[in-house]
Amino acid sequence: MEYIYAALLLNSANKEVTEEAVKAVLVAGGIEANDARVKALVAALEGVDIAEAIAKAAIAPVAAAAPVAAAAAPAEVKKEEKKEDTTAAAAAGLGALFM
């Protein structure tokens, strides 16, 4: 992620995203730059308008939260099962007192 952040920082400063510039940002941040990763990043961003890509990503739909609610339902069922087991154990314990 640091490599992408370096490219975004350079873009926001209106600087060209080059291997040397990315390495300089990483080193300034105390990160040892991996040459292969830097080259891959610069090659991947070649010809890409970063500002346009950010604008398109900002209007992309966000994932729905419905699956989270569906996952909560089984947890409630488990709680009910535990209550039944506790009730049965308590009843069995009381029955032992009268024997």
pLDDT given at position 98:
56
How many whole angstroms separate alpha carbon 92 and alpha carbon 88? Answer: 6
pLDDT given at position 66:
61
Retrieve residue 41's tokens.
């990043």
Domain ranges within the chain, ordered by starting residue? 2-58
Separation in Å, CA 91 to CA 36, 94, 95: 68, 5, 6
**What does pTM read for this prediction?**
0.56
pLDDT given at position 78:
58
pLDDT mean by block of 10 residues, the chain; 99 residues:
93 94 95 95 92 84 62 57 59 56
**Best CATH choice for the domain 2-58 from the list 1.10.10.10, 3.40.50.720, 1.10.760.10, 1.10.10.1410:** 1.10.10.1410
